[in-house]
Amino acid sequence: MNNPYFDLLMWARGPGFDIALTILIGGILLRVVEIVVLGRKKDLAKPKGSPVSQGIKTIFTRSVPRKGMMKDAPVTYIGGYVFHIGFFIAFFFLGAHIALVDDLIGLNWPAANKALIETAAAASVIALLALAWTRVKDPVRRALTRFDDWLVLVLSGLPLVTGYVAVNQIFGDPTLMMAVHILSAELLMIAFPFTKLMHAVTFAMARYYNGSIQGRKGAES
Amino acid sequence: MADKPLLPDLMKAHGISRRGFLKYCATLTSAMALPPMLAPKVAHALETTARPSVIWLSFQECTGCTEAITRSHAPTIEDLIFNVISLDYHHTLQAASGDAAEHAREQAMKDNWGNYLVVVDGSIPIGNPGYSTIAGISNLDMLKETAEGAAAIVAVGTCAAYGGIPHADPNPTGAVSVSDIITDKPIINVPGCPPIPIVMTSVLAQFLTFGLESIEVDKLGRPKAFFGETIHDRCYRRPFYDKGLFAEGFDDEGAREGWCLYKLGCKGPTTRSVCATVKWNNGTSFPIQAGHGCLGCTEPDFWDNGGFYKPLSVPAGEYRKLGLAAVAGGAALGVAGGAVGRANKARAARAHETVDAHDLEKKT
């Protein structure tokens, strides 16, 4: 007699994870290396400013809203911050996730308590819903939104929701829900290199590039 | 069966007081998750029910389940259980041997056809009947023959319930569970390696007291009263899990402080059993309390579920080799993609034609 929930969990922890990790790592490298190899045309003009320092500075300054933008699009900015910080806390400070990272790369750090993790996860999901709402409500955003955007939104939210359900055993069998949570994270891993989720890696490259162009021209980025 | 003494006579013979008996009934009632008001009914049933014949079959097993049940909470309870039922056949416990032993089984079956209870511990090898035989009879044949006249079967231990350790990969004997073979009789699974003694005795007592219908089982055939919640839910170390405090080794500060054993591979979150509440040895302790994570022994295939010392969140496969291959493959594909892009760019540059205003005017 088998427990199908355990079979699913073992598939998620075994072949499922292997497939997802291979696609994630292979996909990220493919895209990053392709961008680097493609390169840019060399600018032969003498730089008027400092492209390197402005490039590095821009990596960080673009995380701060431009003047007036917070007032113009508060949900986008606040929702964006809350989602990213919440997701970061829920992923990096849950003991089970730290055990995963420890096994993957040998790094270990103290875990946070359940109250903080769950507050962060719940805030993240609420932020995602708010961001989805602005996409529907604002005609410009609605026109700009593609299937890819909805896919990324759903895939980002699923691990948070399923993780919350699995840890608190809100419904479903605990083994099944753990399997579903891992599978939802694996879906995110598979989609990562081929969707806008890739910004988590390329944001630094893109910001540096934009900042360095301004720096080369002698402008403050 | 009718000529066998009822419980009151046996109680006297064994020096058990009525108070002791009622306390035992109250414990059983509580263990079965029944309301306290039903304790008198348990007592009444045990006092008045004629002792049903029980045939205990041991197949591919380690005798751990028998060892466990003989270490039931107190000696008086142990006596009680073996006298409440008429244990007519049990390899390890019976005095008879050889033909006499087998005759006892056959006689019990004949006398109680259709009414006796079969308890099985151990898995059944179907790869080759010769892997495990008793008195020259294969386990498979003995199970089929004995089950035919049984009222119900209780599969005790994970081997009988789900195949257990003999069933572990690569399963050299072709071990299977009782329910893989017998499909026309009610089967109650009491898994565990071994099961908690009082869980075994309580299931038997509930069967005697309220009948088979009273035992609500889950999808895996386990009584919900004992396998309804996960060990993690009731673990006394759960507050440490919630606080994010984990032992990182079996002898570190966290282990000494009694922190959660999740990172040491504890399977409590996915294992259903009452280990954390009923405990063992008269409620003294259970594996997690003794400092070792749960192995998940009440679940099917627990031996193959990703390693005892790997946390549940850690991958169980050979992902490292694949990861390295993905690094190399991804980088190679990236270089190739970049090269194709550069070639396209160069081709576009070569094909580029400059135009001036006169050319445009000509074209229009």
Identify the pLDDT of residue A148: 94
Residue A128 reports pLDDT greater than 90: yes
30-89 of B, contacting A, C-beta below 8 A: none
Identify the pLDDT of residue B303: 92
Neighbours of B172 (CB within 10 A): 12
**Whether B301 and A2 lie within 8 Å, measured CB to CB:** yes
Q: Are strands B133-134 and B137-138 parallel, antiparallel or unpaired?
A: antiparallel
Tell me which residue in A1, A22, A113 faces B300 most closely, judged by beta carbons: A1
Give chain A positions within 8 Å (CB) of B345: 38
Q: Taking Cα atoms as reference points, which of B334, B328, B314 lies closest to residue A201? A: B334
Q: Which chain B residue's Cα is nearest to A186? A: B315
Give chain B positions within 8 Å (CB) of A30: 330-331, 333-334, 337
Tell me which residue in A24, A27, A111 faces B246 most closely, judged by beta carbons: A111
**Whether A36 and B311 lie within 8 Å, measured CB to CB:** no
Identify the pLDDT of residue B6: 65
Average pLDDT over residues A179-208: 96
Classify domain A4-28+57-216 at the CATH class level.
mainly alpha
B249 touches chain A (CB under 8 A): no
Report the distance separating Cα B6 and Cα B289, nearest Å: 40
**Whether A114 and B241 lie within 8 Å, measured CB to CB:** yes
Q: How many Cβ pairs within 8 Å bridge chains A and B? A: 169
Residue A27 reports pLDDT greater than 90: yes
**Positions in chain B whose pLDDT score sits under 70:** 1-12, 14, 31-33, 46, 48-50, 72-84, 363-364
Specify whether the CB–CB gap between B334 and A31 falls below 8 A: yes
Neighbours of A213 (CB within 10 A): 17
pLDDT digits (tens, 9 = 90+) for A59-69: 999 988 888 88
Specify whether the CB–CB gap between B138 and B132 falls below 8 A: yes
Identify the pLDDT of residue A152: 96
Mapping DSSP to helix (H, G, I), strand (E, B) and coil, where does residue A132 land? helix
Q: Which chain B residue's Cα is nearest to A24? A: B326
B239 touches chain A (CB under 8 A): no
Give chain B positions within 8 Å (CB) of A105: none
Q: Which of A17, A30, A105 to mutate to test the interface with B (most CBs of B within 10 A)?
A: A30
Report the distance separating Cα A96 and Cα A64, nearest Å: 32
CA distance B176 to chain A (A): 8
Average pLDDT, chain A: 93
Delimit the domains of chain A by residue range: 4-28+57-216
Please give the C-alpha separations between residue A49 and each of A55, A141, A215, in angstroms, as whole numbers: 11, 36, 5
Specify whether the CB–CB gap between B79 and B16 falls below 8 A: yes
B100 touches chain A (CB under 8 A): no
Give chain B positions within 8 Å (CB) of A112: 244
Q: What angle do CA B2, B8, B14 make, to 5 degrees?
A: 110
